[in-house]
Amino acid sequence: MARRALGPATLAAVRAVESSLDPSDGCLLVACSGGPDSLALARAVVTVGARRTLPIAAVVVDHGLQQFSADRATETATTLTTLGFGDVTVRTVTVRSTGAGPEADARLARYRALDEAAATRDATLLLGHTRDDQAETVLLGLARGSGTRSLAGMALRSGPGARRLRPFLALPRSVTEQVCRENDLVWWSDPYNTDPGYARVRVRQTVLPTLERELGPGIAEALARTAVLARDDADLLDALAAEADPGTSTLACQVVEGLPPALGRRLLGRWLRLEHGAPDLNAGHLYAVEALVTDWHGQAGVDLPGGLRVRRTDGRLELVRPDR
């Protein structure tokens, strides 16, 4: 790539990546869809890799769900090579139906491929989520009636081994598009990103602009700040719930009853996750299990995904498999 002075948006993007890195980060692997956010991320990573003499790589996932998706993945890979990435891989995945919906199924397959690519290189996986994505996530959580963990949105670092990194979480989406313009990068617009059939798209196209208009500017920034504050609160409550956890395979209702509701509910969630082993429990499951403690009138039990049931016997909660 020809050397030229970095534009203001590119400088802001480079700074965002640099300030998000830890000394333990080695190879920087960019997950690039060909959209403006991850292309801007790739551009910033080229500069950061050169400045810090860190190896850089990029991975493009082809979900195979849209016509010409393979061509688009190849075009994106070519753009990345032109940008200065020597190591670019296209990973074609098979999206299997889990019953959670096509979007969730695609995400599952994508993250599996991305995490694998990162593990193979012992790399940090960089994702292009922006402040606007974070604001949308917080609003969607709020609308679902979720608690602080959900309002905490996406974490700067997450995933297996905390390998996933989102350096642009505090950067507005408008900056990423400006980065692409400053560097003559042509991005691909995913038709799903404008399909009002998706709640996230309606939040992006209608809800957030309406809030900006009616309540004043800075809503996305405020929601992103809410995420940071909610994360701190949720982390503290989770730590307190871990301290209160007796670590037994059955859980005495008395232990839960003795705690404030915010902690008791968390302890139940923790016990279910650790015993149940899967993160696919929703708030409805949790409230129903909580009622076995706080509103006990001899209920039969609560059915959970995976053929499990929680029942209360002699003042203790236990997990059983009624079909075995």
Closest to ligand ATP by CB, 154 or 244: 154
Residue 132 and residue 175 in contact, taking contact as beta carbons nearer than 8 Å: no
Closest to ligand ATP by CB, 190 or 295: 190
> Shortest CA distance to 35 belongs to which of 188, 177, 182?
188
**Both structure tokens of 141:** 């959580």
Nearest distance, CB of residue 295 and ligand ATP, angstroms: 39
User: Does residue 289 bind ligand ATP (CB under 6 A)?
Assistant: no
User: Does residue 36 bind ligand ATP (CB under 6 A)?
Assistant: yes
Angle at 194 between CA 188 and CA 196, to 5 degrees: 160
Q: Is 33 annotated as a binding residue?
A: yes
> Shortest CA distance to 9 belongs to which of 238, 216, 177?
177
User: Does residue 129 bind ligand ATP (CB under 6 A)?
Assistant: yes
Give the CA dihedral 141, 142, 143, 146, nearest 10 degrees: 70
Question: Which residue is nearest to ligand ATP, using beta carbons?
Answer: 35
**Both structure tokens of 321:** 């498999």
For residue 204, with 0-12 CB atoms within 10 Å meaning exposed, 13-18 middle and 19 or more buried, which class applies? Answer: buried
Closest to ligand ATP by CB, 43 or 110: 110
Q: Is 37 annotated as a binding residue?
A: yes
User: Does residue 33 bind ligand ATP (CB under 6 A)?
Assistant: yes
Query: By CB under 6 A, what part of segment 39-98 binds ligand ATP?
Result: 60-61
User: Does residue 178 bind ligand ATP (CB under 6 A)?
Assistant: no
**Residues making contact with ligand ATP (CB under 6 A):** 31-33, 35-38, 60-61, 110, 127-129, 133, 190, 193
The annotation places the binding site for ATP at 33-38
